[in-house]
């Protein structure tokens, strides 16, 4: 095969992707493999919902581990309705993100956020 055509169709034209480009490619490839647990409802709210990231996405978690803000967890490909927040890090299983939200959040805030 002619070297000029070796990378035809490659999203980056054969160049090594930057960190951010690789992250975006990995999210696109593995987003459907993110596992979302059933939600548990108690008198104080919905919790704990957990989201399990595949290894290909878990490598983008911050080191050292810490709670993620909404932009960060959404930036890993996690999709959740408004009001959820990352509330706990479980160091033995950092690829499992634990979320909760206020009880009746969607009824209290039909526009998706407090006024």
Strand 96-102 relative to strand 45-52, pairing: antiparallel
Banded model confidence at residue 83, pLDDT cuts 50, 70, 90: confident
Among the listed residues 90, 94, 99, 83, the one whose alpha carbon sits nearest the alpha carbon of residue 37? 99
Q: What percent of the chain stands above pLDDT 70?
A: 77
Domain ranges of the chain: 30-104
pLDDT at 40: 73
pLDDT at 5: 46
* pTM, rounded to two decimals: 0.76
- Phi, psi at residue 29, to the nearest 5°? -75, -35
The CATH architecture of the domain made up of 30-104 is 2-Layer Sandwich (3.30)
pLDDT digits (tens, 9 = 90+) for 9-38: 556 677 899 999 999 999 999 999 999 998
């Amino acid at each position: 095969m002619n070297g000029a055509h070796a990378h035809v169709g490659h999203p980056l034209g054969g160049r090594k992707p930057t960190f951010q480009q690789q992250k975006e490619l990995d999210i696109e490839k593995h987003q459907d493999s993110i596992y979302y647990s059933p939600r548990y409802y108690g008198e104080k709210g919905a919790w704990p919902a957990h989201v399990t990231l595949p290894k290909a996405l878990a490598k983008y978690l911050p080191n050292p581990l810490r709670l993620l803000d909404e932009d960060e967890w959404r930036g890993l490909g996690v999709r959740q309705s408004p009001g959820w927040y990352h509330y706990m890090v479980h160091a033995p299983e950092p690829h499992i993100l634990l979320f909760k939200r206020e009880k009746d959040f969607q009824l209290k805030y039909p526009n998706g956020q407090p006024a």
